Amino acid sequence: MVNGIVGWHFKKREKDPRNGRVVFLIECLLNQNARDMGAAESPACTKAVMDILAEAEIGMVQIPCPEIACLGFERQRAGGQSIRQALEAPEANACCRTLALATAEKIQSYADQGFEILAVLGGNEQSPGCAVHTVGESATELKPASGIFMQLLSAELRQRGLDIPFHGMRDADPKALKKDLEWLSAAC
């Protein structure tokens, strides 16, 4: 019991259809309107990803866009500064760290309740905040080319002992997206 509230661990219950499986995914996969102007790949969402997850009856938990959270919707930054450079600046980096901590807390909460977290789904290879470039087969450690936010989230999850794979959904490249969708189908 914590603060007078009795905790529960996920287990299949009669009259409760949940299967206890979820993915955490970046906001722009669910809502392309969150992308930087000119970066959207579809009118609304990355439908192929949503279709696979819905068909497999996988719950989807949205990760807020670190670019919007830390730089504003317009991705405000100094003239000549890239979005990545802006996210690396001390104030925005601290904001990304806070968002990564909050996201890790939410992931930890789901894990503590017995939910199976299948993956963290990130973005395109060039995304300054959410690119996913993995090290090795486990896909739980990220390379420095990964987005600023994803690197911080990966480090926080490792620190907590949560071994959750990361995978980019590269919808800006049809061939790469095809491979990512194949991976996602197999993972579900």
Report, as an integer, the average pLDDT of 82-101: 96
Q: Are the C-beta atoms of residues 122 and 166 closer than 8 Å to each other?
A: yes
Report the distance separating Cα 41 and Cα 160, nearest Å.
34
> Each residue of 44-87: pLDDT tens digit?
788 999 999 999 999 999 999 999 999 999 888 889 999 999 99
Report, as an integer, the average pLDDT of 92-100: 97
The pLDDT value recorded for residue 11 is 61
Residue 12 token pair: 């299949």
* pLDDT band, residue 14 (cuts 50/70/90): low
pLDDT at 96 over 80: yes
Q: Among the residues of the chain, which ranges form H helices? A: 27-30, 47-55, 66-71, 83-88, 90-112, 148-159, 174-187
Please give the model's pTM, rounded to 2 decimal places. Answer: 0.88
pLDDT at 1 over 60: no
Residue 32 token pair: 């392309």
The pLDDT value recorded for residue 2 is 40
Residue showing tokens 């049809």: 174
